[in-house]
């Protein structure tokens, strides 16, 4: 669904929203400057594989990627849409946006769905500070089918994460039972490794790139416990960078001071799931986040 094009010499030096202005999107017609600016703000436009701001200055040869067919739905939901058909919507959630509402939550994915797509519901979870792909069923039947697929292990979920420290092994499976507890606060669950009382939990971890003091890893979930990735990576001595609950305070402070990292660096990068009704395999990949690319510039130009 993505449309890609290269920035030519005539557009070099201009802003990203100006480059999109006037391009045609089904249901919207030629994009206004305001619509182009809003699509960029929602994370629906990438430059060289990385989500880019409307004010980004372009260079000749930059690759711009966006989904014209999904632009109207993105603006309707006020959340970037990475895929949509009659049964399913895949959202690209930005960091900081809550999935569910609450007393101190002004805006959430759930409230956006209730407003723009009544009857739709979330088929998976994603922490508030995490970014990336979220699977949504448009109606009860689609949600039942997706729920059954999740229970059967037929939905592949891959995440990119930046962890503190340099991971030695290129690949490993973390097979540690996890138990969810309400400690230290009754309204905030925390997940602990508990070989005696925990539920079976497996995460497959592969190193994508190594930095001087951190590592970019790809994590594939075999099970889906609350905070599984955060708890598992912390348990092997490499907590997520920026994670205030499971992380390393000194590493987090250094990343904040040096790179401006102010959130947990976890990103839902890839989803593969069977289409409700037909069972056809659908694969959706997310664009990268700017804070990941600041730590690992090689991500620019790759998905």
Residue in 127, 243, 248, 291 annotated catalytic: 127
Is 85 within 8 Å of 73 (Cβ atoms)? no
Strands 131-137 and 266-274 come out as: parallel
Task: Give the tokens for residue 97.
Answer: 């946006």
Helix%, strand%, coil% for the chain, nearest 5: 25, 35, 40
Read off φ and ψ for residue 150, nearest 5 degrees.
-65, -45
SS3 186: coil
**HSE on the CB side for 169, CA within 13 Å?**
10
Query: Which sign does the torsion angle of CA 151, 112, 106, 97 carry?
Result: positive
Q: Encode 37-71: b = buried (16+ Cβ within 10 Å), e = exposed.
A: bbbbebbbbbbbbbbbbbebebeeebebbbbbebb
87 counts as catalytic:
no
Task: Give the tokens for residue 55.
Answer: 């004010």
Q: How far is CA 215 from CA 132, 229, 234, 239, in A?
A: 19, 15, 13, 10
Q: Residue 102: beta bridge partners?
A: 105
Is 108 within 8 Å of 98 (Cβ atoms)? yes
The residue count of the chain comes to 303
Q: Which residues are catalytic?
A: 127
């Amino acid at each position: 669904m993505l449309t890609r094009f290269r920035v030519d010499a005539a557009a070099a030096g201009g802003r990203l929203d100006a480059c999109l202005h006037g391009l045609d999107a089904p249901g919207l017609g030629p994009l206004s400057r305001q619509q182009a600016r809003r699509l960029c703000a929602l994370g629906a436009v990438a430059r060289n594989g990385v989500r880019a701001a409307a004010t980004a200055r372009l260079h000749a040869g930059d690759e711009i990627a966006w989904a014209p067919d999904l632009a109207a739905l993105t603006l309707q939901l006020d959340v970037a849409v990475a895929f949509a058909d009659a049964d399913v919507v895949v959202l690209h959630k930005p960091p900081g946006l809550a999935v569910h509402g609450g007393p101190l939550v002004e805006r959430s994915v759930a409230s956006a769905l209730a407003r723009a797509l009544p009857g739709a519901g979330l088929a998976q979870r994603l922490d508030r500070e995490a970014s990336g792909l979220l699977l949504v069923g448009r109606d009860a039947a689609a949600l039942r089918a997706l729920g059954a697929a999740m229970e059967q292990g037929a939905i592949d979920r891959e995440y990119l994460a930046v962890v503190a420290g340099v991971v030695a092994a290129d690949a490993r499976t973390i097979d540690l039972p996890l138990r969810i507890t309400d400690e230290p606060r009754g309204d905030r669950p925390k997940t602990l490794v508990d070989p005696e009382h925990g539920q079976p939990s497996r995460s497959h971890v592969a190193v994508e790139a190594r930095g001087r003091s951190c590592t970019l890893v790809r994590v594939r979930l075999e099970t889906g416990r609350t905070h599984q990735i955060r708890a598992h990576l912390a348990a092997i001595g490499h907590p997520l960078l920026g994670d205030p609950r499971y992380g390393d305070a000194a590493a987090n402070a250094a990343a904040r001071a040096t790179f401006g990292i102010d959130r947990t660096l976890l990103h839902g990068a890839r989803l593969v799931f069977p289409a409700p009704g037909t069972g056809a395999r659908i694969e959706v990949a997310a664009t990268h986040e700017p804070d990941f690319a600041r730590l690992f510039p090689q991500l620019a130009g790759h998905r």
